[in-house]
Amino acid sequence: MVAEATELGALRSTRLWLIIVGTCVWITTTLLIVRHQWTHLSAVEHALIMIGLFTFIVAIAMYRYQYCLWLFPIGQLCFLACAFVAPDSSPNWLALMTLSSWLTYFLVGLTSRKIGFMLIPTGALITIVAWKAGTSIVIPGALEVFGGWVVFAQSVGGAAALWWAWNTLKDEAVMGDARTEDLENQTNRSLELQERARTWRQGATRVHESVLNTVRYVLLTQNLDRGRLKQETVQASSNRNLRNSIQGSTAEDLVNEVAQVDFEGNILEIQGSIPDLYLDSEVYQTLRAAIIELIRNVIRHADDKNISLSISITSQLELAINILGGTQLGGHTPPGIGRNTVLGSALDEIGATWLQDMDDRGRGKSAITIPISDLMPHPNDNHFVGFPPFDKARLIVSSPLAGMSVIGSIYFIREMVLDRGFLDLGGWFGLVGVVMAAALVLRRKPVNRWLGALMVVVPALVPILVLQTDFQCSQSGLMSPILTISGYAVMVIAAWSGRFAGILGLSIWAYGGFALVMRFPSNCRDSVSIALLNSLVVLPIILIVSFIGARAYRKAADRTRAVRQLDVIERSRAAAAEDLNAQLDDAISMTLDLLDLIADGAELDTHMHEQLEIQDGRIRSAIQVDPARDGAFAVVMRALVEEAAELGVRTNVKALVSSHDSRPIDSKVERLLYQLLLANQAQGTQVQVFTDGVEDHLVLAVSRPSLRAAGLRPGERRTVGDVNLQVEQGEVDPHLGSRHAVIVSRRILTPT
């Protein structure tokens, strides 16, 4: 019926279950009574009953179609019509008040607010008219008291309470759906950003491991192995598509794959046994990249190149990966992609930590630890608990019961005051039970199970407290509503108190109810038996089935949202991968072409060196900066690197990590940075972007002549709009001369 899993959909689903179950229960009760009297009914009654039954069967079979719900009240009208066409000779078989009340409830639930309000007295009018007409088929019961006018008032009160509950819930559902839609949009946006970040990070890891490491090898090696270069170039070309997915595997497979990597002729020693653990695909690839990066750092920056790798499980149930060998790279240099992404954010994402230390012999030691619980994928935790669906069924069922109970409390007063002359204990308990039931409906909050158990005992004791040795048939009209109202109060309190209170209250009430019914002569038990059946069987079944239906709807809603979120994730991954491939395509293509030329024998001269350095800077900036997600500082720095590359200017790109503050940077600052890059082109400018959670910082390391060319001097400070610029006193580089850091800073709009 409802395409979207919404709060309004949950309300309509609850209404559907109440209509279906309510119809099935009262029609079954009616047919049980009719079964023994079928031969005494007229042909018109037979026809109307059969038409009504057929209508209900069609309605239940086609319940998914909204317009078919109208078949339920039409079928009810067929049964109610019997009250006006049946001959006087027909026996009592029609529970008029129950049937007409259900008709009103269905009409109120199926119509608009205004029309539903006008239809509130429908059932009450049908009941009083049929009763005043002296219809023989109506089971009297409470209609015998005060000429049926209390029943009339009860019917109006119950319908009014249902009208209030239904329209209140509809209004809340509309507002709840708006909140849920906003929440879902925010969650989907968050998922998109997370998946873009994850795809970018994985892409950075793979490009760093393949293309960038190959470029670094060519730029730093003294004895170039062109055969090895050819193999690495072919391998890098085959891994260009960043959308390739890689499945997880075991820890042993991880070690074997790392052992097969060519670490420039150095031997990797595997120590100890490898634990038998399965690793999720993201965990597997992240750990693999981190291990390879750490081993390569040892090879590049250590004198002792004997390297050992061990994997074990600690007493804290963590997977520990230890790499021993050489002296690791110190922390005095600005971090690049390797330290910032491969060993930083990528490990953080999977819950791993990375530490560097020295062993007893002074050798460098790197340790990666990750809880075993994080090695396997976790289910999606993005649940939308915007509404408890059963509360809707609970309020819709309990509100008319409470409304009828409040008006029906007149029966307690009449029985006790008029018949006995005083208000006895049974009357007091009945009145208190009705008040508590009404208060719970108005409060609309579940109560503690023990408090609920104490409350439900009060109305549950009413049938026991009003017991007499024997009842006369004339008293059935009074005892029937007393039994009904106390049962309603028990059900309302139980609905808001939980199963324990419900079982306790119904058990006590049922014991007293059975005892009360059995005190009546067998030929006049119909009305009190129906009252007992209503509260003991009918209402519990309605509540239980409504709860099951609401819970099923909630599960369906969770599944629907999970599918939508999965779709968002997959689309975000695909879009991010396409964007990343597009950004990197030109730079990687040019880099691979240059590497191919070198592998085929081209001379590695100064010009070739510079071209590789230019493309290296382009790749490092593109792989770290996502224009759709990152802040202005990182995006501007990436754009400057691209512009400089077009003019053949080299940049040494380190980490480019800014906040998500996307406010534009003053164009004067951008022009000044561009001038510095051009002025410092002979040396190649080292660039870096980082954030401390309060401010974003952009750093360029340039020579003293470049400062003068851009109109700056050491120690200078400037403020341009919301940006602060300062030039630090420089250090002397033995190869490049004095170098100065130009630092551009801006306070983040929302500190993180």
The whole-number average pLDDT for the span 670-685 is 92
The set of residues, in sequence order, having a beta carbon less than 8 Å from that of 208 and lying 6+ positions away, is 289, 293, 337, 338, 341, 342, 623
Determine phi and psi for 3, rounding to 5 degrees: -70, -40
Q: Provide the residue ranges of all domains of the chain, joining segments of one domain with +.
A: 1-138
DSSP state, 466? T
Among 594, 640, 636, CA closest to 615: 594
Above 50 in pLDDT, residue 245?
no
> From CA 564, how far away is CA 185, in angstroms rounded?
11
Output the average pLDDT for the chain.
80
> From CA 190, how far away is CA 580, in angstroms rounded?
19
Query: 339-353, 374-388, 502-516, 632-646 — which is least confidently predicted?
Result: 374-388
Are 650 and 684 a contacting pair, CB within 8 Å? yes
Kindly give the pairing relationship between strand 651-656 and strand 685-691. Answer: parallel
Above 80 in pLDDT, residue 262?
no
Q: Other CB atoms closer than 10 Å to residue 110's CB: what's the count?
A: 19
Q: What pLDDT digit, counting tens, does each position of 545-578 carry? A: 666 666 666 666 666 666 666 676 667 666 666 6
Q: What pLDDT digit, counting tens, does each position of 693-749 carry? A: 899 999 999 998 999 999 999 889 999 989 999 999 766 565 556 789 999 999 998
Give me the DSSP letters along 256-299.
HHHHTS--TTPPEEEESPPP--EE-HHHHHHHHHHHHHHHHHHH
Among 547, 585, 680, 608, CA closest to 240: 585
For 199-220, letters b (16+ CB in 10 Å) and e give bbbbbbbbbbbbbbbbbbbbee
pLDDT over 90, % of the chain: 24
The whole-number average pLDDT for the span 594-603 is 88
Q: What pLDDT digit, counting tens, does each position of 406-459 carry? A: 998 888 777 666 555 444 788 889 899 999 999 999 888 889 989 999 999 999
pLDDT over 70, % of the chain: 78
Kindly give the pairing relationship between strand 364-371 and strand 731-733. Answer: unpaired
> From CA 95, how far away is CA 51, in angstroms rounded?
18
Determine phi and psi for 512, rounding to 5 degrees: -65, -40
| pTM of the entire predicted model | 0.55
> From CA 355, how far away is CA 365, in angstroms rounded?
8
Position 300 scores a pLDDT of: 67
The set of residues, in sequence order, having a beta carbon less than 8 Å from that of 157 and lying 6+ positions away, is 403, 404, 406, 407
Query: 80-84, 135-139, 377-381 — which is least confidently predicted?
Result: 377-381
Position 668 scores a pLDDT of: 92
Above 80 in pLDDT, residue 345?
no
Which has more pLDDT, 247 or 44? 44
> From CA 486, how far away is CA 446, in angstroms rounded?
20
CA distances from 213 to 221, 369, 603 (A): 12, 25, 20
Position 304 scores a pLDDT of: 60
Above 90 in pLDDT, residue 51?
yes
The set of residues, in sequence order, having a beta carbon less than 8 Å from that of 572 and lying 6+ positions away, is 191, 192, 195, 196, 199
Query: 10-19, 638-647, 699-708 — which is least confidently predicted?
Result: 10-19
Q: What pLDDT digit, counting tens, does each position of 124-161 carry? A: 999 999 998 888 888 887 788 788 888 899 899 989 99
Strand partners, 278: 250
Residue 77 confidence class, pLDDT cut points 50, 70, 90: very high
Position 545 scores a pLDDT of: 62
DSSP state, 356? E
Give me the DSSP letters along 470-509.
---GGGHHHHHHHHHHHHHHHHHHHHTT-HHHHHHHHHHH
Residue 272 confidence class, pLDDT cut points 50, 70, 90: confident
Among 444, 438, 432, CA closest to 404: 438
